[in-house]
Chain A
Amino acid sequence: MSSKPVPSPDAETAPFWDAAAEGVLKIQKCAGCNEHVFYPRLVCPHCMSDELDWVCVSGCARIHALTIVHRSTAPFRDDLPFAVAIVELEEGPRMMTRVLTDTPETLRIDDPVKVHFAPQGDGPPLPFFEPA
Chain B
Amino acid sequence: MGANFRDAVAIAGVAESEVGVLPHRTEMQLHAQAAKRALDDAGIGLAEVDGVLSIGSSRGTRMPSVQVAEYLGIMPSYSDSTSLGGCSFEAYVQHAAFAIDAGLCNTCLITYGSTQRSGGAGFGGGTDPWLAASQFETPFGLPMMTGAHALAASRHMHLYGTTRAQLADIAVAARKWAQLNPAAPRHEDLTVEDVLSAPMIASPLGKFDCCLVTDGGGAVVVTRSDRARDARQPPVWLWGSAETHTHSSIANMPDLTVTPAARTGPAAFKSAGLMPSNMDLAMIYDSFTITALMTLEDLGFCAKGEGGDFVSGGRIAPKGDFPMNTQGGGLSYTHPGMYGIFLIVEAVRQLRGEADARQVSADLALVHGTGGALSAGSTLILGKEPRR
Measured CB to CB, the residues of A under 8 A from B are 4-10, 13, 17, 38-40, 64-73, 75-76, 79, 82, 84-86, 94-98, 109-110, 120, 123, 126
Contact = CB atoms under 8 A, between A and B. Distances in A.
B313 to A, nearest CB: 28
> Which 9 A-B residue pairings sit nearest by Cβ, starting from the closest?
A7-B135, A76-B141, A67-B150, A39-B132, A65-B151, A96-B251, A68-B203, A109-B158, A65-B155
Nearest to B156: A65
A82 B141 contact: yes
B154 A96 contact: no
A9 B200 CA distance: 34
A79 B139 CA distance: 13
B136 A96 contact: yes
A86 B143 contact: no
Nearest to B146: A71
B199 A70 contact: yes
Contacts of A5: 126, 134, 138-139
Please tell me the size bucket of the interface on B. Answer: 20 to 34
A70 B151 CA distance: 14
26 contacts: A5-B134, A7-B136, A8-B135, A17-B135, A39-B132, A64-B155, A65-B152, A65-B155, A66-B151, A68-B202, A69-B143, A70-B202, A71-B200, A72-B141, A72-B142, A72-B147, A73-B141, A73-B143, A84-B142, A84-B147, A84-B202, A95-B251, A96-B137, A96-B142, A109-B158, A120-B139
Interface string B173-205: 000000000000000000000000001111111
A69 B132 contact: no
Contacts of B143: 69, 71-73
B125 interface: yes
Interface in B226-258: 249-252, 256
Given A40-B132, A65-B158, A72-B142, 15 more contacts: A4-B141, A5-B126, A5-B138, A9-B135, A10-B135, A68-B202, A69-B143, A70-B202, A71-B146, A73-B125, A84-B151, A94-B251, A96-B142, A109-B158, A126-B139
Nearest to A69: B202
B151 A71 contact: no
A6 B151 CA distance: 22
Given A65-B151, A67-B151, A70-B201, A123 B139 contact: yes
Contact of A65 (B129, B140, B154, B205): B154
Nearest to A45: B252
B201 A84 contact: no
Contacts of B129: 8
A17 to B, nearest CB: 8
Contacts of A72: 141-143, 147
Interface of B: 125-126, 129, 132, 134-143, 146-147, 150-152, 154-155, 158, 199-205, 249-252, 256
Contact of A86 (B132, B146, B250): B250
Nearest to B143: A72
The winner among B129, B135, B137 for most chain A CB atoms within 10 A is B135
Contact of B256 (A65, A84, A98, A110): A65
Nearest to B126: A5
A75 B250 contact: no
A70 B203 contact: yes
B75 to A, nearest CB: 40
A64 B154 CA distance: 9
Contacts of B200: 68, 70-71
Contacts of B158: 65, 109-110
The winner among A38, A65, A110, A120 for most chain B CB atoms within 10 A is A65
A6 B138 CA distance: 8
B139 A7 contact: yes
Contacts of A38: 136
A38 B136 CA distance: 10
Contacts of A82: 141
Given A9-B135, A65-B152, A98 B202 contact: no
B225 to A, nearest CB: 42
Contacts of A110: 158
B202 A75 contact: no
A79 B142 CA distance: 12
